[in-house]
Structure 1
């Protein structure tokens, strides 16, 4: 995406960055504080803190919609020049540039945890954290699991690697990246070079169906959430009346907040039976449609614009490296002695959160910002093979 297009969607950059911080804050809060039901202070500010730091899973649904918008939209935008090989290189370089060092980092942190708090690896903290190892039998840092995570087979054929529970969503993303181009080729929306015959479309459709049948039900069921990003792409910037834009944003914000509340209510899930993840995806989709109607900021160098783009830039790195550190912090400094929320504990939370953000920034500067260089290097390796074929 060009810098001009990135500038146009600075509002989405802000949402993506905030969502990554929300996931991080959610895991950190679980490792440090008692649940809201056990909280001694349940006033407005305490309730607000628990509400804002309890939306980690919902933030992942936001990521799915944004991914569908940016990645799926790029396929449709370049449909006449779509090259599967170039697309694969772009996606793999983008994923691997952080994933490979993040897996190595996870192994190092897990080695420390194994020495200072081995009970983490046997699942003793799962009831408190709701993430990380579930039991000794489900924890795996073997070479087979490492290879499976590098090939995005976690939660399908292998566990997630080590303590890095959030890696589950990366497998979702990868297979959605594979499924969508197969679907649009099967439908004739995209015709790759050298694949214009009817049997190419049939083959693409057959492979897509086989992948959907192979994926775990919960992963296949979340694919429509990713596809909601295409609804956003189809409507981006096409609403002209100012009042209609305002109505879209206000109604989208109201629906998104309502679906967040719905997603946290087990009673309503049982009463209405509508999938909460899909509800959050639909709510954010409408909000996202409204946000893409906004004009880009007049000044691209405005502080909040640069902050939004900067926060978005390292969001992937933050997502991949934060949880092993949270597990280490939680086990070593707090154990099962969860704290009540007060000024002192909130200060500790803020300082730890800054440390985690710093780790995300460091990984961005060391690895993620070199995505283009990795893609070019991979292309130089692959090009001779492709040309020979």
Structure 2
């Protein structure tokens, strides 16, 4: 990590910490509460913290060298939210499986690939004179945008990432068939 960090620089290394917070979630023992009220109250508070952490950009927007502070605060609060979702909703009931984390993970790579171009367009829009929203209206628009980005990623993944296993099996089947033909041709000679 130290050697790689020396090549990629401090900024990328700082963001490795944000990635690490998400990567560590499966390694932490899930927290359990018997009361659904307590679960949903903690989840609600966590969502409020994520939204509040997004406001950190207002305080550090004019300080490019401190950009890691709002990004880190969002990373921490969002990691806590994901940890709670995994803890509270990763279980089975009879024959019906309720596994929200598995459903969200099914398109996580596509979300990772597709969110930045959309986020860049949105940030450009916000920096322009066309962004005329303030206060609660702006938060509502941001929420709609966030849901739209996730929905967009889900649609793209249903056309691509969802079929990864089928494509992998087809490729390996094709390679296996080629190897069998090659072996037969060697034996015939």
Calculate the TM-score normalised by the size of structure 2.
0.51
Q: How many residues align?
A: 150
Partner of 1:254: 48
Partner of 2:157: 364
Instruction: Work out whether residues 31 and 84 of structure 2, in 8 Å CA contact, stay in contact via their aligned partners in 1.
Output: no
Matches within 5 A, 1:215-364: 215-242=8-35, 245=39, 248-266=42-60, 275-295=69-89, 296=91, 300=96, 309=103, 313-314=106-107, 316-317=109-110, 320=113, 323=117, 338=130, 357=152, 361=155, 363-364=156-157
Partner of 1:16: none
Q: Please report how far the alpha carbon of residue 315 of structure 1 lies from its aligned counterpart in structure 2 after TM superposition.
A: 5.7
Q: Please report how far the alpha carbon of residue 267 of structure 1 lies from its aligned counterpart in structure 2 after TM superposition.
A: 6.8
Change in Cα spacing, 1:274 to 1:292, as seen in structure 2 (3 Å) is same
Between 1 and 2, higher relative CO (CA 8 Å, sep ≥ 6) is seen in: 1
Instruction: Work out whether residues 269 and 275 of structure 1, in 8 Å CA contact, stay in contact via their aligned partners in 2.
Output: no
Matches within 5 A, 1:26-37: none
In angstroms, what is the RMSD of aligned CA positions? Answer: 5.0
Structure with the higher fraction of residues in helix conformation:
2
Q: Please report how far the alpha carbon of residue 365 of structure 1 lies from its aligned counterpart in structure 2 after TM superposition.
A: 4.8
Instruction: Encode CA deviations 1:102-155: one digit per residue, 9 max, x unaligned.
Output: xxxxxxxxxxxxxxxxxxxxxxxxxxxxxxxxxxxxxxxxxxxxxxxxxxxxxx
Looking at structure 1, the residues matched to 6 and 69 of structure 2 have their Cα atoms a distance apart, in angstroms, of 20
Instruction: Work out whether residues 245 and 293 of structure 1, in 8 Å CA contact, stay in contact via their aligned partners in 2.
Output: no
Looking at structure 1, the residues matched to 92 and 38 of structure 2 have their Cα atoms a distance apart, in angstroms, of 19
Structure with the higher fraction of residues in strand conformation:
2
Structure 1: runs of 5 or more not aligned: 1-207, 331-335, 385-389
Change in Cα spacing, 1:258 to 1:340, as seen in structure 2 (3 Å) is closer
Looking at structure 2, the residues matched to 287 and 314 of structure 1 have their Cα atoms a distance apart, in angstroms, of 18
Instruction: Work out whether residues 314 and 360 of structure 1, in 8 Å CA contact, stay in contact via their aligned partners in 2.
Output: yes
Instruction: Encode CA deviations 1:278-303: one digit per residue, 9 max, x unaligned.
Output: 1111111222232223244858589x
SS, match of residue 237 in structure 1 = coil
Moved over 6 A (4+): 267-270
Change in Cα spacing, 1:367 to 1:226, as seen in structure 2 (3 Å) is same
Looking at structure 2, the residues matched to 290 and 209 of structure 1 have their Cα atoms a distance apart, in angstroms, of 31
Calculate the TM-score normalised by the size of structure 1.
0.29
Structure 2: runs of 5 or more not aligned: 134-140, 180-189
Instruction: Encode CA deviations 1:325-382: one digit per residue, 9 max, x unaligned.
Output: x98xx9xxxxx994867xxxx9xx99xx79x93x973x5355322312444436958x
